[in-house]
Chain A
Amino acid sequence: MRFKLERRETVSGLGLVAAPVIAVLATLLIGTAMFLVLGLDPLAAFRIYFIDPLTDPYTLQELVVKACPLLLIGLGLVFCYRANRWNIGAEGQYVAGAVLGSIVAIATNGGEGGWWILPAMLAMGAIGGALWGLVPAFLRVRFGASEILTSLMLVYVAQLGLDYLVRGPWRDPAGFNFPKSVSFDPAATVPLLMEDGRMHAGILIAIVVVIVAAFVLGRTLVGFSIELGGSAPRAAAFAGFDERRVTYGVFAVSGALAGLAGIIEVAGPIGNLQPSISPGYGFTAIIAAVLGRLNPFGVVLSSLVLALTYIGGEAAQISLKMPFDVTRVFQGTMLIAILAADVLVRYRVRRVEAPARDAAKVTAHA
Chain B
Amino acid sequence: MRKILSMAVGLSVGLAAGLGLMGGAQAAEKLKAAWVYVGPVGDFGYSYQHDQGRKAVEKAFGDKVETTFVENVQEGPDAERVIEQLARAGNKLIFTTSFGFMEPTLKVAKRNPSVLFEHATGYKRAKNVATYNAKFHEGRYIIGQIAAKMSKSGTVGYIASFPIPEVIAGINSFMLGAQSVNPNMKVKIVWVNSWFDPAKEADAAKALIDQGADIIAQHTDSPAAMQAAEQRGVKAFGQSSDMINFGPHAQLTAIVDDWAPYYIDRVKLTLDGKWTSTDTWDGLKEGVVHMAPYTNMPDDVKTMAETTEAAIKSGALHPFKGPIYKQDGTLMVKEGEVMSDKDILSLNWYVKGIDDKVPGQ
Instruction: Collect the chain A residues with CB atoms within 8 Å of residue B75's CB.
Output: 274-276
Complexed CA–CA distance, A167 and B358 (Å):
11
B88 within 8 A of A: yes
Q: Does B20 contact A (CB under 8 A)?
A: no
B90 to chain A, nearest CB (A): 10
Flag if A314 contacts B163 (CB, 8 Å): no
Segment from A102-110, A172-180, A216-224 that makes contact with B: A172-180
Q: In this assembly, does B150 line the interface, its C-beta being within 8 Å of a C-beta of chain A?
A: no
- Asked if B40 is an interface residue, CB under 8 A from chain A, the answer is yes
Chain A residues contacting B84 (CB-CB under 8 Å) are 58, 62
Query: Chain A, 183-194, contact with B by CB distance < 8 Å: what is the 0/1 string?
Result: 100000000000
Instruction: Indicate whether B336 reaches chain A with its CB closer than 8 angstroms.
Output: no
Q: Does B360 contact A (CB under 8 A)?
A: yes
| Cβ-based interface call for B281 (8 A) | no
Interface residue? B162 (CB, 8 A): yes
A-B contact count (CB 8 A): 91
Choose, from A1-9, A13-21, A24-32, A318-326, the stretch at the interface: A318-326
A58 in contact with B88 given A270-B76, A276-B75, A318-B68 (CB within 8 Å): yes
CA distance A278 to B345 in the complex (A): 29
Task: List B contacts of A195 (CB < 8 A).
Answer: 6
User: Considering the chains assembled together, what is the distance between the CA atoms of A177 and B160 in angstroms?
Assistant: 14
Residues from chain B with Cβ under 8 Å of A275 in the complex: 75, 193
Per a CB cutoff under 8 Å, which of B80, B103, B168 touches A198? B80
Q: Which residues from A are CB-within-8-Å of B165?
A: 176-177
Tell me the bound Cα distance from A291 to B10 in angstroms: 42
Contact among A62, A277, A317 with B81 in the assembled complex (CB-CB below 8 Å):
A62
In B64-92, the 8 Å CB interface with A consists of 68-72, 74-78, 80-82, 84-86, 88-89
The residues of A that contact B243 with a CB separation of less than 8 Å are none
**A171 touches B (CB below 8 Å):** yes
Interface string of A270-314 (1 = CB under 8 A from B): 111011111100000000000000000000000000000011001
Indicate if the CB atoms of A314 and B82 lie closer than 8 Å. Answer: yes
A270 and B85 contacting across the interface, CB-CB below 8 Å: no
A-B contact pairs, 11 of them (CB 8 A): A176-B123, A176-B345, A177-B346, A178-B162, A270-B76, A270-B77, A275-B75, A317-B68, A318-B85, A318-B89, A324-B71
Knowing that A176-B165, A196-B111 touch, tell me 11 more A-B residue pairs with CB under 8 angstroms: A167-B360, A168-B359, A171-B360, A274-B75, A274-B100, A276-B74, A276-B75, A276-B76, A319-B89, A321-B68, A323-B71
Closest A-B pairs by Cβ, 3 of them: A269-B77, A279-B74, A168-B360
| Partner-B contacts on A (CB < 8 A) | 58-59, 62, 65-66, 163, 167-168, 171, 176-179, 183, 195-196, 198, 265, 269-272, 274-279, 310-311, 314-315, 317-319, 321, 323-324
